[in-house]
Structure 1
């Protein structure tokens, strides 16, 4: 299988798309320049043990102690110093998980000589480099010369091509519609049905509305679509899929789901049996979901809304694309006030664009960029 990683390194956010045989398989969004914690090498000290969990807690200099399973601790004991790699970032209030037995941690042991814990021994690689290694990609296409140079340093031997043209790499590579689709709460299913995905703090619920399809046909059609979106959206934790119809129809949907989940590199676990058509999938957490990467808690009600950073990045992508096709024409961008405030604070990144900013009159979290009349 041919795997390719597209990296759009913008001034505000970095968008990544993994393609398999030319089709979009995964989307990820990270703040520009953020390396995160995954892959960091730290010198820490074991401060406490949790025998009931078979684990230690380790002070590695983060806000909360890291979680070290005893099977990943080697010969370490309470009070001992350990050189460890962060193998799971702290998410949703959970501590980072570390390993003292990973190849990277073992290789970095000499760096701890003479150091006092806690200490950072080696910063995390760029997320794109970690993803490229984990997925076994054969080539990278990168929009952004500095990002390409950094990835070449971390991925020697891999083909890293610099994209030529505007900032919207997804649009140029034909992935913009796929990306937009994986942000929608509902997708069409059959002639009149739909697949609804509702991501909450506790779990993700996926509902099947077969429309004009028979229950079996609806389940067998929905299962691969659900599996595709679970991976594209990087959904994790508990995922409940509500299949419809009688027992044979539910069993057919479950079998189709098992086949569709099989290629997922995170190896989701499909629980045995079902409860009235409810089928449980558990998928390992690997960073934030696509939705949570682009949203923040809404300050005026429950739920989440699109972050100022993502809106600002969207303005820049649209403005650069429009300026490329309409050279010399003055541009106007309308966006929510918080997104414009972020852009105004980063005027250096769009100084070359003939762009005027204006607070949007519409109440929704949307942006518009146009040629000024």
Structure 2
């Protein structure tokens, strides 16, 4: 598979696209002043404790206080000596009031962006990602990336990580370290330890609330987390962004720095590779499959729902074969959509019903295999008795549809507006109420073409003289009801018939 990373930075906005065999696989946007918060480290002050929720709200200097769950709180083991581990387990199941106190200063890291009415979610368990490893300063643990499947490589890397791991700290070995030596890993870890020491020093000299460490920008993260041996090249548009990417690569992975190149075409980079066109097409509510089937993707406050439909595909063999083929094709596109839209949280997939158990198991096995391509952590729970597939995808940021779009002002995001007849009857109800309390020789109703047509069909309330004026460019939900006196009538106003 041919992989390319495209980066465009202009007018305070940086965009990144990952192409796989020329098709858009991942897409990210970062705007000046709207940077994502996960990874940022703050000194915060406990502002409110909620025992009933086993949580606290912490002031970290943002518009909304951050949410801290009891399970995300680290205790100071030095206060408990040899019994520290036992005490920590006991406290984890007890009231949050024993873990934190009002006004207490805490060093915390954002683990989830704010969204809707909620502030960011935070943890006192800090993680510091490097090129080859992630440093866990608050836990003593060694983990190996699930993407490294070779058992010999896992054993070698675990031994190297144990040798490099600082006392009382943990490490997670990243996929990029699959071929790394112990010396490579040690250099990465030492760099992260120095960063942690710097963070601790700044925290000790800062009064809450204060930002102590800001996670790196999109270009740095792309080089750190995405540039790898299987990426053919990284094209960067603009001299400053290219210099940033190049210098970051020379610092983190000098052997891959040669794969970063400036884009020098006259056509804008994202236009040359049709990125915007692919993104718009892929992110519609209805996504067509090559077979003629389609997906419908809907978002709710609690979860994302994906429905699979046969559409135009009728197959050429048995019904079971037709359904299974569409479901398998849909599974591939669903994984693509999750990555492209950066969907997080709970995902429910309504595949087309299959009676045969082996077909169901085959579909789940395919879905598990496809999800291994996703850099973001996923958990495929299984299929319910109703045939719904349940899964979760780690949610760090707000998904693309909320970052780039806003709820429709007409429908409030529901996708539905009142019909023209509903609006017309609302107007007539309002007219009857006003006519009983206001003096007027006549009434003028301004509304859209669809609504005025409905008004003509229904007619005005008995005893009320009314006229309609069509506003061609108005949407159906917009209207105005005005009193008129004497000859004060618009020239193009048409009289409404009266109903008995």
Structure 1 residue aligned with 2:58? 58
State the number of aligned residues. Answer: 309
Q: Distance in 1 between matches of 2:58 and 2:116?
A: 19
Structure 2 residue aligned with 1:41? 41
TM-score, normalisation: structure 2: 0.54
Note if contact 2:219-2:244 (Cα within 8 Å) is conserved in structure 1: no
Structure 1 residue aligned with 2:216? 125
Greater Cα offset, 62-71 or 131-140: 131-140
Q: Sort the Cα spacing of 1:95 and 1:23 in 2 relative to 1 into closer, same or farther, 3 A.
A: same
Which of 201, 210, 227 is equivalent to 2:335? 227
Structure 1 residue aligned with 2:438? none
Corresponding residue SS for 1:58: strand
Structure 1 residue aligned with 2:394? 284
Which of 284, 296, 314 is equivalent to 1:212? 314
Q: CA RMSD in A?
A: 3.3
**1:116 is aligned to 2:207:** yes
In the TM superposition, residue 161 of structure 1 has moved relative to its aligned partner by: 3.1
Q: Distance in 1 between matches of 2:247 and 2:105?
A: 30
Q: Which has the higher strand share?
A: 1
**1:97 is aligned to 2:121:** yes
**1:194 is aligned to 2:294:** yes
Structure 2 residue aligned with 1:240? 348
Q: Distance in 2 between matches of 1:303 and 1:283?
A: 23
Corresponding residue SS for 2:406: strand
Corresponding residue SS for 1:230: helix
Q: Distance in 2 between matches of 1:157 and 1:37?
A: 22
Note if contact 2:291-2:326 (Cα within 8 Å) is conserved in structure 1: no
Corresponding residue SS for 1:303: coil
In the TM superposition, residue 240 of structure 1 has moved relative to its aligned partner by: 1.7
Q: Distance in 2 between matches of 1:137 and 1:4?
A: 10
Corresponding residue SS for 1:217: helix
The higher relative CO (CA closer than 8 Å, separation ≥ 6) is in 1
Which of 179, 203, 212 is equivalent to 2:279? 179
In the TM superposition, residue 169 of structure 1 has moved relative to its aligned partner by: 1.8
In the TM superposition, residue 71 of structure 1 has moved relative to its aligned partner by: 4.6
In the TM superposition, residue 208 of structure 1 has moved relative to its aligned partner by: 1.5
Corresponding residue SS for 2:236: strand
TM-score, normalisation: structure 1: 0.70
Report Cα offsets for 1:107-147 as digits up to 9, x if no partner. 30101233211112233421332354344546643223333
In the TM superposition, residue 9 of structure 1 has moved relative to its aligned partner by: 1.2
Q: After the TM superposition, which residues 12-91 of structure 1 pair with which residues of structure 2 at under 5 Å, given as runs?
A: 13-20=13-20, 23-32=23-32, 34-49=34-49, 55-69=55-69, 70-75=71-76, 77-78=100-101, 79-91=103-115
In the TM superposition, residue 2 of structure 1 has moved relative to its aligned partner by: 7.3
Q: Sort the Cα spacing of 1:50 and 1:196 in 2 relative to 1 into closer, same or farther, 3 A.
A: same
Report Cα offsets for 1:321-369 as digits up to 9, x if no partner. xxxxxxxxxxxxxxxxxxxxxxxxxxxxxxxxxxxxxxxx9999xxxxx
Report Cα offsets for 1:273-299 as digits up to 9, x if no partner. 324222122211131222222211222
**1:106 is aligned to 2:200:** no
Structure 2 residue aligned with 1:274? 384
In the TM superposition, residue 66 of structure 1 has moved relative to its aligned partner by: 2.0
Q: Which has the higher helix share?
A: 2
Q: Distance in 2 between matches of 1:189 and 1:362?
A: 35
Report Cα offsets for 1:129-172 as digits up to 9, x if no partner. 23543445466432233333444565534534332234632232
Q: Distance in 1 between matches of 2:305 and 2:344?
A: 11
In the TM superposition, residue 220 of structure 1 has moved relative to its aligned partner by: 1.4
Greater Cα offset, 215-224 or 112-121: 112-121
Which of 290, 294, 300 is equivalent to 2:404? 294
Q: Distance in 2 between matches of 1:2 and 1:40?
A: 33
Q: After the TM superposition, which residues 149-160 of structure 1 pair with which residues of structure 2 at under 5 Å, given as runs?
A: 149-152=243-246, 156-158=251-253, 159=257, 160=260
Q: Distance in 2 between matches of 1:34 and 1:298?
A: 21
In the TM superposition, residue 44 of structure 1 has moved relative to its aligned partner by: 1.5
Note if contact 1:244-1:250 (Cα within 8 Å) is conserved in structure 2: no
